[in-house]
Every structure is written in C-alpha cells, then in structure tokens.
Structure 1
Amino acid sequence: MVVFKDINKATIRTFLNGFSQLGEFIQDKVLVGFNNYGYDDVILYEMTKNVPQSKIKKTNDDIIGGDRKRTNQLPCKTYDCFQQIDVSRPSLKKIEANMGRAIYESQIPFDIDRKLTDEELEETLNYCAYDVEQTIDVYKQRVNSYFKPKEYLVSMLDKSFPDNAYKWNTTTISSNILVDKSLTKWAWLEVPEHILNLAPAEVVDMWKTKDKGKKVTHEFDNKIEWGFGGLHGVHHSIKEADNVKLLDVGSLYPSIIKNLTHKKVLEDGTRKYIQMIQDRMEAKENGDKERSDALKLILNSVYGNLKNKYSDLLNPNASKTICAYGQCILYELCRRLSHHATIININTDGVAFVPHNNEFHRIWKDWEQEFNFTLELDEFDKWFQRDVNNYIAVGKDGSIKTKGGDTNRYGGNRFFQNNSARILDICLVDYLVYGKDIIDNLQEHLDKPMLFQYVLQAGSTYQGTFDDKGNQYNKVNRVFPTFPGKGTTLYKKREDGGLVMFPDMSNDMYLFNGELTEFHDFKKIINIDHYYQIVLKRLERWG
C-alpha cells in the first residue's frame, strides 16, 4: 500500500494491492518521506519493478531486522525529513507526540500472513495517510532551515559529482565543496608557540601527549577545565549576579582556521574557505539568508569533519590544534579581564563577567587587535547560574536567554528533541527571574496540556512498554501524572523480562495518546503536585 498526498495534504493517488503504473506516476516528481532513504525508497523501487510480493516482504523483513539497504534507482528525487533532524534521532511517532498530535500506531501486525480484511485494509490506509500528513508538517518546519540551504550547497558542487549527491548529508557535501582529495594528517599539534605558551605548562603537556582527558586549574575564583572540547569555567560561589557582560568570540573555529597561516588546515581548500567567511558576511549584510545559511553550514562543518573518520577532512591533530588554540586565547582574555572584572562563567567561545570599571572596553579592543578575532558584546541586567552549562540571562530589554537541561525549553517547544514537561522549565525560570509562585504558575497554564505531557519511549534494547499486569502499549506513549486510582504505571520491559521505571515519572500515570486539543478532562486528572516537587528539587541545585 502506498499513499501520495500533495503539500496541502490532499490525496492525489493511492496504490493498494497492485503497483501497475507506479513507476510512471512518480516519474520526475519530488517525493518527501520520513526515514525513506533507509526504508520507503527501497520498497518503492521494488514496487515499481513489479517484483513478487514475497520479495517485497523479504526486503521489508530484512530492513526491520537491521539490514541497511539503499537505492538511487528511483525515477524521481526523494527528500528524507529524518536526515540530520537531531542527534537523538526521534521517530515520527515521537514527533507527533511532541507536537500534541494523536499518536496513531497501527493495530494491524506488519507480519500478518494473509490477505487483509476490509476493516484491516481501511485501518492500514488511515494509518498510512495519517503518517504522510505528519511528514508534511515536519517538512514544512524544516524546509527553510534545512532543505533550502542544503539545496544551495548541492548547487555549489562541481558538475562531475553524481546526480544523487543531493542525498548526502550536509557535512559530506561541504567537505566535497572544499577539497577534492583526502587531507594529509598532521603529525603533531600546530598551535603557534606564542599562543600555546598562554596556557599552563601541565595543560600544554596534556595536549601534546594525549588525545583525551582534562586538567583543572583554579584561577580568578573560577574552577577552569581544560581539555579537548573547549575551555569551561565557573565561579566558585557566585550563583546570581547583576550587570553582567558577555563577550563572545565571533565564529571562533572558522576564525582560527583563517588565522593558522603557517599551516593551512584545508591545504588548497583553505583559500576557498577564507573567501566563504567573507562571502557569508556579505550575504548577511545583504539579507540573503539562504546563501548565508548555506555558507554557515560549510564553515561550521569543518571542525567536526576533522574528527570524522569517514570524511576526507579527517585530521585529528588539526582538530586538536584548533581546540587548543581557542582555549589559549579565551583564557588570555579572561586573565586580562580579571584585573578589572569578576569572571563568573567561561564557555568555549565566550566569557561572562561583572565589570568593576570601564577598562574592559580597552581590553576588548586590544585583545581583538592582538589576536585578530572579533568579540561581540551582550549585556544582561541579571544572571543566574547552576553551573557552567546551565544559566539564565535577562537582557536589558527584558528578553531571556537560557542554556542547559533545566531551562532550554523555556522559550519554546523542541518538537524534534525532548519536549516532555516543558512547564518545569517555565516554572523554574519564572521563579528565579520574577519570583513567581510555582503553584500559581502551574495553575495558570492548565489550559495548555502540552506543557505538562510526558512522552515515553522504550529504547530499542527493550521489548517495549508494559504495565505490571503484562499489557503492552504503544512504542511511544503520552502520559500525565494523576491521582491514585485514576491511572496506571508504565514500565520499560527488558529482554530478560525485568521491568524498569521511566525516570522522574509518577506511579500513577494517565495515558492519553489522542489529539491534545480533544483532552477535555485534563484539569480533572492532572496532579500538579508532581511538577511542584520536581521544580523544588531542581531549585535546590541552583543554590
């Protein structure tokens, strides 16, 4: 069965038991799916060739069993909404749940070995149509942020590349735009000596002799961690501060690549890379967002590709060089600022501090001129922090910037990531920033069930989701903490049959996998004390 809809969700063709004319129908069209590069495209190709159903069934079973298959032989272009969507690799069902949609999982077994009844056929058709409609919504959310910039990247490839290059991920496309052969791997660290000497001797020794690990130093009342992923530091005692300045190094890693003139990171591709830095600045100034976003993808992909064993850019010591270089110059900025400011947070490419006077302006400009980098200033009336990776910053205009697992969903939904219980982030931030009562905040948001939902999914290493009576549930479920007697307890079931609780979950869960706009009993079932207790526990960590 195959269902085709247009961008407006109108059904334009359905193929049921026979696939005659399927190949002609998709000829020269653009098909969009979800995880179709790893499944649908392969099955669709076999359908167009009218292979026996038994062969299609075997291919289906092979893929589900873990056999990776790909095809580039369809007579049309295909785009995959799953490609590079997020490192967590969310399923379409999880995205549906995150968006407050009905979590519609087919009740018809995929391994059924007979002809479907009329009722089963209708159920399967509805299931397929529903997933296509959800895929359309995902595509619309990603078209400007992913597909259009990627299309621009493809247009930058040399014409000698194969027609299916548009299926590559953006990091692969980017590396092929920059170089036409594998880079020569550096034998050792190539940080210029005058830069390297800015770091403590024990840190330099670590970089020269190891490939992982960290060193901790304590300076300007900060605990500072040096390593292979960026400089991190946080003040020993300050959890809250006023009049905070944040100096960020603009395009840190691309700028380091540009400044490493004695050893070209991308060899012959370095000149092209440096030109792209300039081109992107011009594109931003001219409002050419598509070009700017595409060039940003290339510029920001290089550092990661230097550590990617599958990339032509693989060069571990170049990656280590860039990382060490960045830590050295940021540390030097912190050191200079510390004579005229209180350093409160150091994080990879930026330093937050409370100035004692206006000397930081002179230090800022002197540092830029000496090291050939650009610093960008943000100013905040208020700053709260739990640790180096968790903070809340209130701008002079009242805007709120958050970072970290306790707060990063304050400003909006994360449909492609973890979107569970966003109300916790809202209550914590509002309490710290505005002193807003937690219970009042919870009650004021009871008209928005999506803020309270928990989306549960047992991973692939588990049999699935079960209750303590052995009943199996969807692979993805939406639950809400409720009162004793009104719900059930869901578990992840291990392969050995053992039951494992979902973290931070109530023993009494109310299951609702329908459309949240139709959840009319929400206020009657929700137990807001569950959320209140979690917010209190989190606030303890914020000191």
Structure 2
Amino acid sequence: MEKERRRIIIDFEVLSKAGFWMCAMKDYKTQKEHIIINNREELLRVYNKNKESVWIGYNIRGYDQWILKAIIADIDPCIVSQKLIEQKISGWKIDRRLHQIPLYIFEISDTYRSLKELELFMGEDIRESSVSFELDRYPTNEEIKELSSYCIHDVRMTYKVFEQVYYKYEAQLGLIKYFNLDESMFNKTEAQLSAYILGAKKPNYERDDVKDFKIVESINLSKYNHIKQWYENYNNRDFKNYLRTNVYNIETDFGWGGLHSARKKYMGEDFIVNSDVSSFYPSIMIEYNLMSRNVKDPSKYKEIRDTRFKFKKENNPIEKSLKLVLNSAYGACMDVNNELYDPKQGISICVNGQLLLLDLIEKVELEFGDRAQFIQGNTDGVMFKFNSKEDVDIYLEICKQWSIRTKMELEHDFIKKIIQKDVNNYVYIKENGSVKSKGAYVKKISMIDNDLPIVNKAIKENLINNIDVETTINNANKLIDFQKCVKITGKYSHAVYGKQKINLKVLRVFASLNSSDNAIMKIKADQKVEKISNTPDRVFIDNTNILDKEVPKMLDKSWYISLAKDRIDSFIEDKYTLFDYFDLMN
C-alpha cells in the first residue's frame, strides 16, 4: 500500500522592517502544532524531515512558499516579503535560487475571499494583532507572544477551511495517481494540470482569429433564425454588442457568455421539467471539435469524458478527479496564461451553447405554443411547465430527437413546485421531495459562506413549507445565526462606528434594540461617509468567537423578520394594485 503523504498546514508572519519572521504549523493527521521564531536551523530541521510532505496554506502559492524557500536558501525572508507585498513582484521572479528548493504545496485560497473573511463566516475571532506589521524594531517578548497567538490562530483556521475543501485535495491527488504523473505536478493549479494532462502547448505566434468562429451545422432554427444571423454578422463580433429579444414570451439577452433568461417573480406547480445538458461545454468541445487547437490529440479529452461517465455510474471516486480536467478545459481556453489558451474556440463554445439551447426552446414553442410555459434558460439547461403528463411525454420525445440531432445528452428533473425571483434566484421542490435552491437569498449555507443564515432559513422555510417568518426567527437563539458579515473593500479607507474608527477589513454586526447604538459606516478616500448597505440603522459589533454564544436581549429580531419578508416579496408576484387595496379597505 502506498504511504500517505504527511500534510502540514503552515502560515508565516513577517515583520520586514523589524527583521523578524515567525512560522506556525499544524499536522493535519496528528493535529500537533509547532511554532518557529526567527530560527533558520529549526526550520531547516523540520523541512529536511518533511521533504516529501505536502505543505498546505491559504495563499501559500502567492506568499508562504516563497518565504519558506527563502529561509531554506539562506535568502533574507524580510526582503522577499517586501518584494512580494509592497513591490508586488511574483515570487518566481525574485531569485532563481528559490526555484531550486523542492516543495510540494496545495493552495486552498479561492482568490475571491481572504482567510479573515472565512473566519468571519465561521463565527471565529476576527480581531487583528495589535502589533503593527510596520514595526521598525525587534518585537518585545509580549509582542512576540501576541504574534504567536495570532499566527497559530490563522493556522487553526486554515485547518478548518481545509476540512471544508478536502475533496479538492483528494481530486487533485486522484488525477496525479490516475495519470501516473510526477508528484511535482501537485504544485499546479487545476487549469495548469488539465493543460499538462491534455498535452497542450501554446504556439509561438499570436493567433488573430477570435472573430472567425463558426456556427455548428446541427443547429436548425426557423422562428428564431434571426438570432443566429445576428451572430453570423461580423459587425456584431466586437464582443461588446448584445442582442435583446423576446424568446417564448421572455425577454432574453444574447451575448458572449451563457444563456440567461427567466420569468420574473414566477410560481408554478406540477408538470414542470428542468432539463440540463450533461457536461454541456465539454460535450460541445468533443462533438463539434472545439477543443483548444493547442491540444495535439483531442481524442484524449473524449476518452477522459467517457471514462468519467463510466466511473460515475460505478461510484468510482476517481470520476471527481476526471471532472476537474473536463471542467477546467473551457475556462483555460480563455486564460491567456494557460497552455490551452484559444479564445476563438472559447467564444465558439459559448455562442453555440446558447444557440443549441435556443434550438430546443424553439422546438418546444412550435409544438406547444400557449399550452406550455418557458420558465427559464441558463448556461446549460432549460425549464418548462406543461398542462399534463401526456404533454410531458411529448416534451421528452422532443428532447430525445434534439439529443440525437445535436449529440447532446439531457438529464431531467421533474419538479413539483418552483418559486423564482429571476434566473439567478429560485427554489424548487422535486417530485421526489428533494429541494434545490440557487441565489444569494436562498443558497445552501455552509461554514465558509454564512451571511445572515437565519434570514436564509426563514425565507426557505416560508417558500417551501409555508412556515411564518416570525416563527423561524423568533425560535432561533444562536447568535451566529443572526450575524451580518461586512467587508470593507479597497475603495474605502476604514469603517466608523459612532466616533470610533475601525481599521478591520471585515466586521460582524447585529441589529440592536439599544437606542444609543449607531449605524456602521464606511469612509472613502475623499472622506465621504456612506452607510454600509444591507445593515441595520443601529448595530452592535462582536468580532470575538461567537460559536457558543446565545442571542442577547438587545438583539432586534424584528429587523431580520422585516428583511426576510422583503426578500420573500421579491419572489412573489404582486397580486393587488394600490386601487385594489383601497377597494379591499372599503
């Protein structure tokens, strides 16, 4: 049996002007922790003992690996840190000696959120160290103690995040094993790994043919042929234009991304079918020869797709690893830094994807007309409501013929009820009782995506089970359920709470009944003051660990009730005009 690699969670703190560095680490399996303070010999000892281990971090690819390599190579880590942060020089450009240090790393940052923001969602302590990173002298013992506490806290939080995204680690490890790759490939991103597996190599010249994409011949449009013609007109191929037109009674935009079309504030029950194309973009790439032209043997991509389908039916976990390659390939076509970069193919996939779905929508409309409703169309699927089981059967036959002609496979969900705000926000209940939801208001809450969880729960309980918002919110007593997570973006210098200046970039606020409490505000560089959106007029702040805290008496639950009701109203069509209201009053 192959020995499992040790996984070490790591984080560095560097005070460049003070000539000080610190490293905290935690063994994933044993959970043992270790802190090294300005001691190169100790770090070398740990590194030499763990050359075959995988070092895991949040932004380890962009920062921590270069600090670790600098110390090992006997290069001043404070200078390297300065170049990384202040001069924004990529680590691989700083010193070629850094490339000679072998290191297996795994990045868990999603690039969109900081670790501190995830700590905010998790209900953890998000207070920053009081020790300035601009400190220009060696820190005191008390300051080192505080920095140590701060650094090991970040390691513990990184450990918790890693637990949440461990499936990504397993999938990447599975790819390396399945394709028998050199284990140095572990350091690659998913997209880089996909390009390598597919044998992609960018040409040494620039292609200038992005506008020369073709419409695939299997698309057969009549009523909506003008949309296809719009794409065929080279004057529209500046990638700034878009076409807004009516499709089956829904205003729909056609541009250079996925299809987005939906009825606003829609509710429907019975004989509803949602049809998604299986592996839509990968299937387009395979069936219409739209794989990146940088791949010498496109058949390898098809082989991976077919093997993944086989493994999925067999419940073989490697299917999740193969899915990484399939799903990364399209995005990589549009990434100038990836070996798969081929924007002509990428645009062609998007355009043909929209037209293929339009083809299916048209066939349904021509068959049913007013006897069916087009509910929504998205990047890889469509949804319709019919009047009877017989009509559903006719629809499924249309889908079958469409699939044969287009070489796309459809998967169908049979829906009992749907409540839809728009294409990006909806909840539906399948006939088997399971629930699917999408959108900021009703998405599935997780430990690392946990803003206003009680409002999310109250909305779904109301829409799905018809439970009063008041019942759900008034019965909740965990403080974390009521957290409003606030982020101060780079457009603003800091936050203000009354006369108090707050330099934290993320905050946790709660609606307050206390009349002396203030709103949370943010300050622009020009000193303009703005109220932070979607926050109460009076708040209290708690940036400490709140995991075991219960709601205090000063929590204003009525604010959460009002917000939940407002958001529910955005899903439900107005039934009465103002005049109807006065008639009812009389």
Question: Structure 1 length normalisation: TM-score?
Answer: 0.89
Question: Is the deviation greater in 365-374 or in 215-224?
Answer: 215-224
Task: Give the AA of the match of 2:173.
Answer: E
* 1:536 aligned partner: 565
1:234 corresponds to: 262
Matching residue of 1:366: 401
Q: Which letter does structure 1 place at the counterpart of 2:343?
A: P
The 8 Å contact of residues 242 and 383 in structure 1, kept in 2 or not, is answered as: no
CA RMSD, 1 decimal = 2.6
Would the alpha carbon gap of residues 449 and 176 (structure 1) be closer, same or farther in structure 2, given more than 3 Å must change?
Answer: same
Confirm whether residue 225 of structure 1 aligns to residue 225 of structure 2: no
Once the two structures are superposed, what CA deviation does each residue of 1:262-307 show, in whole Å capped at 9, x if it has no partner?
A: 9985653311111111110122122221x21121111111221222
Equivalent pairs, count? 526
**2:436 is equivalent to residue 401 of structure 1:** yes
Q: Does 1:201 align with 2:201?
A: no
Aligned-pair CA distance for 1:151: 2.5
Give the aligned partner of residue 554 of structure 2.
Answer: 525
Task: Provide the rounded CA distance (Å) in 2 between the counterparts of 1:123 and 1:400.
Answer: 46
CA shift at 1:440, angstroms? 1.2
Secondary structure of the structure 1 residue equivalent to 2:297: helix
Relative to structure 1, the CA distance from residue 264 to residue 241 in structure 2 (aligned partners, 3 Å threshold; closer, same or farther) is same
- 5 Å matches for 1:398-437? 398-409=433-444, 412-413=445-446, 415=448, 417=449, 419-437=450-468
Letter in 2 for 1:276: I
Of 55, 58, 79, 1:58 maps to 79
C-alpha distance in 1, partners of 2:179/2:394? 48
For structure 1, which segment, 166-175 or 180-189, has the greater mean C-alpha deviation from structure 2 after superposition? 180-189
State which of 117, 135, 157 in structure 2 corresponds to 1:134: 157
Identify the match of residue 311 of structure 2 among 264, 273, 283.
283
Which digits, 9 at most, give the CA deviation of each residue in 1:63-101, with x for residues without a partner?
Answer: 33252332444454232222xx2x5x2111111111112
Q: In the alignment, what sits opposite 2:88?
A: 67
Question: Structure 2: how far apart are the matches of 1:398 and 1:180?
Answer: 44
Q: 2:194 aligns with which of 169, 174, 178?
A: 174
For 2:564 and 2:164, how far apart are their aligned partners in 1?
31
The code of the aligned residue for 1:280 comes to R
Closer, same or farther in 2 for the Cα pair 1:181/1:37, shift >3 Å?
closer
The structure-2 alpha-carbon separation of the partners of 1:481 and 1:251, relative to structure 1 and needing over 3 Å to count, comes to same
Among 323, 330, 355, the residue aligned to 1:296: 323
> Kindly tell me: are residues 77 and 266 of structure 1, through their superposed partners in 2, closer, same or farther at Cα, counting changes over 3 Å?
closer
CA contact (8 A) 1:214 1:227 kept: yes
Match of 2:497 in 1: 467
Greater Cα offset, 478-487 or 499-508: 478-487
For the Cα contact (< 8 Å) 1:4–1:13, is it kept in 2? yes
For structure 2, the 5+ residue unaligned runs are 1-21, 92-97, 574-586
Q: 1: distance between equivalents of 2:217 and 2:139?
A: 73
User: Offset at 1:524?
Assistant: 1.1
The answer to whether 1:18 aligns with 2:43 is: no
Question: Per the alignment, do residues 9 and 321 of structure 1 end up closer, same or farther by CA in structure 2, a change over 3 Å counting?
Answer: same
Aligned to 2:583: none
| 1:499-524 deviations in Å (ceiling 9; x for gaps) | 3221111121111112213424x231
Matches within 5 A, 1:55-454: 55-70=76-91, 71-82=98-109, 85=110, 89-144=112-167, 146-155=168-177, 164-182=184-202, 186=209, 188-195=212-219, 197=221, 199-209=224-234, 210=237, 211-235=239-263, 238-261=266-289, 268-289=296-317, 291-338=318-365, 339-340=367-368, 341-356=372-387, 357=391, 358-409=393-444, 412-413=445-446, 415=448, 417=449, 419-445=450-476, 447-454=477-484
Cα displacement (A) at 1:103: 1.6
* Contact persistence 1:486–1:510 (CA under 8 A): no
Deviations 1:107-144 (A, max 9, x none): 11112222322222211111111111111111222222
- Matched with 2:512 is 482
SS at match of 1:491: strand
What is the distance in 2 between the residues matched to 1:429 and 1:478?
Answer: 23
Amino acid at match of 1:368: S
| Counterpart secondary structure, 1:525 | coil
Shift of 1:170: 0.6
Which piece of structure 1 moves more, 39-48 or 451-460? 39-48
- Structure 1 residues 261 and 479, CA, compared in 2 at 3 Å: closer, same or farther? closer
Amino acid at match of 1:245: V
Per-residue deviation at 1:246? Answer: 1.0
- Give distance in 2, aligned partners of 1:306 and 1:75: 30
Going from structure 1 to structure 2, the CA distance change for 1:267 and 1:38 (only over 3 Å counts) comes to closer
Q: What SS does the aligned partner of 1:39 have? A: helix
- Secondary structure of the 1:179 match is coil
Structure 1 residue runs of 5 or longer lacking an equivalent are: none
Give the letter aligned to residue 313 of structure 1: L
Which amino acid in the other structure matches residue 460 of structure 1? G
Residues 1:189 and 1:424: Cα distance change in structure 2 (over 3 Å):
same
C-alpha change, 1:497 and 1:263, in structure 2 (3 Å) is closer
The corresponding residue for 1:501 is 531
Summarize the Cα distance change of 1:168–1:337 in structure 2 as closer, same or farther, 3 Å threshold. Answer: same
SS in 2 for 1:524: coil
Could you tell me whether the CA contact under 8 Å between 1:186 and 1:317 is conserved in 2?
A: yes
**2: CA distance, partners of 1:81 / 1:23:** 24
Q: Deviations over 1:196-231 (max 9, x none)?
A: 656522443335421243212223322232221122
Deviates more, 1:203-212 or 1:493-502: 203-212
> What TM-score does the superposition give when structure 2 sets the normalisation length?
0.83
Corresponding residue SS for 2:80: helix
Distance in structure 2 (CA, Å) of the matches to 1:525 and 1:305: 51
